[in-house]
Structures are given as structure tokens and as C-alpha cells.
Amino acid sequence: MKKTIYVTGIAVLVAAVFINCNKSAKDTVDTSLLTDSEKSLVKSAGFNSNWAEKTAEGNYLIEGDILLSKAQLDELVGVGSPNELIIANEEHYRTTNVVSTPGSGFRTITVRLGSGFPSHYSTGLDQALARYNNLNLKIRFQRVTSGGNIVISGRNLGTSGGGCILGQAAGFPTSSGNPSSGFTLSTSSCATSYLNTANRADEVIAHELGHCIGFRHTDFMNRSSCGQNVNEGSSGVGAIHIPGTPTTVSGSYNSWMMACTNGSPAFSSSDGTALNYVY
């Protein structure tokens, strides 16, 4: 059985990562708990209202991987970006807001791994940051032990839609040009059994960091990497095609921002193109 990771993201929200042990299993999300008005709100915010559920805390878990409060959904209503340039299903996309950078030089983004994680998560984080930094972007990641622009915390995130949630990232950059505030890696047994190597931790951390700095799923139009045909929706955060990135599934499959990843933490050449174009 091939394990797949579902990853998603959307501004201010949360992107989560899932594993499913069987791609062909079409488990449905139990979203019947949403009222009609809640479904309407989800739809108005630009998401797929048929794939949303309410959490015990009263937030909305959308497409299995975006966690939004009602206030966040309210903010997204009617914010549709005029820049949604959707040309094909398999390209790299960014949100309308990205991290602001200086005209010259680079901006440092600090990242902190919370306590309680196994040591290979720490190794994975170092690997992920190094791969970003090796691209010589206008943003540089720096690991810190206190504070941090992006904070990685741990919590049992359980499951959604038949998949094990690996993580939920706090979405996308803010309108003021700051990265999202961080993400959660699940401490559930199913999550930790998947994230059992530094490379796996690297893979998921790098993906969530991608959301934090404004990248959407390469296959947000259909989540084809997950064997699905579900459009995540353009949402108020925008889905702006990044010039120079591939338009074919084969050209994109190894993207670090595919909704379901392939188990490799590496950046593809087009990932480098996308990162360099935006930063």
C-alpha cells in the first residue's frame, strides 16, 4: 500500500497533511454537521462546501487541511482576487499575499520547533530550512530557540475524511506581508508512524512552510496527486499562476506543493523556478 500525504493550505488558515493507506479508498468526510448557513459561508469564502466539517472547537476544517475560524471565513467572503489566473491544473500557484521582501538583500524569517518532538523532526527541520536557503531566495529561514515568526507546535490532530492528519499549517501570508504564524504537526500515533524519518519530517515541514510563505497546492484544481478530483477552490487568498512552471502532471508530480506528496523531500527544478520567481 502506498502512503500518500494530503496537504493543503489557505491563508490565515491551516493546511494539514494527511496520509491515507489506500489511494483508492474514497472515504467521505462527515460534513453533515454543517448547517446550511455554514455551508453557504464556506462556499462564499471560496471553498468546496461539500468537503468541510466543524471541529470540536467550533472552527471549520476545510478540505481536510485548512482550519479556519468563522471570523476568518467571514473575512474571505467576497475577497475574490482579480488575479486568479487559472490556466491549467498542474502549475505552481501562489496566494495574492506573499511575504514582503526588501528591494535589495533578503528578509530573515525565524522558525522555531516547539518542544516534545523526536530528534529526527529537528533534523528534518534543519534539512528543510537548508534546502530553502540553498536557493538563495530573498527570504532566508533562520532557526531560533525562542520566539520565531513561524512556530511549529505539536498536537494530536486525529483524522479527517478517512486520512490521518499529519499537520495543519496556519495558512498563508498576511495582507501586511508577514508569513503565517506557523503550523501544527500531529502527535497522533498514525502521524508519528508516518513521520518516522528525518526525510519524512523534512517533506511535511517544507510543504507547510511553503503554505506559510504563500504557495498553494500545485494541483489545487483537482488534487490529482491524491487520486482525487476535488477542486480546493480559489478562495479569497487567490491562486495566481507562477510563470515558467510546468503545465503537465508529469512535470509537476514531484512538486513539493502537490496535495499528496511522493515521500521525497527534494525540490523539483520547477519548484526552484517557482520559489525564485516569487522570492
Q: Please report, as ranges, the residues that interact with Zn ion according to CB under 5 A.
A: 7-9, 15
Calculate helix-pair angle for 119-133, 198-212, nearest 10 degrees: 50
User: What kind and span of H or E run contains 194?
Assistant: helix 189-194
Let me know if 56 is exposed, middle or buried by CB neighbors in 10 A (0-12, 13-18, 19+).
Answer: exposed
- Count Cβ atoms below 10 Å from residue 21 Cβ, excluding itself: 14
C-alpha–C-alpha distance, residues 120 and 134, integer Å? 21
Q: Residues, the chain, total?
A: 279
C-alpha–C-alpha distance, residues 156 and 22, integer Å? 22
C-alpha–C-alpha distance, residues 278 and 173, integer Å? 13
User: In terms of CB distance, is 64 or 154 closer to Zn ion?
Assistant: 64
Q: How far is the CB of 6 from Zn ion (least distance, A)?
A: 8
User: In terms of CB distance, is 7 or 242 closer to Zn ion?
Assistant: 7
Cβ-contact 204, 71 below 8 angstroms: no
Q: How far is the CB of 109 from Zn ion (least distance, A)?
A: 18
Residue nearest to Zn ion (CB): 7
User: In terms of CB distance, is 105 or 219 closer to Zn ion?
Assistant: 219
User: In terms of CB distance, is 67 or 73 closer to Zn ion?
Assistant: 67
Q: How far is the CB of 216 from Zn ion (least distance, A)?
A: 8
Q: What is the dihedral of CA 85, 218, 10, 201, to 10 degrees?
A: -160
Q: How many helices (H) and strands (E) does the chain have?
A: 7, 14
Q: How far is the CB of 8 from Zn ion (least distance, A)?
A: 4
Q: How far is the CB of 74 from Zn ion (least distance, A)?
A: 23
User: In terms of CB distance, is 144 or 249 closer to Zn ion?
Assistant: 249
User: In terms of CB distance, is 15 or 230 closer to Zn ion?
Assistant: 15
C-alpha–C-alpha distance, residues 143 and 148, integer Å? 8
User: In terms of CB distance, is 147 or 267 closer to Zn ion?
Assistant: 267
Q: How far is the CB of 10 from Zn ion (least distance, A)?
A: 9
Q: How far is the CB of 26 from Zn ion (least distance, A)?
A: 20
DSSP at 76 = H
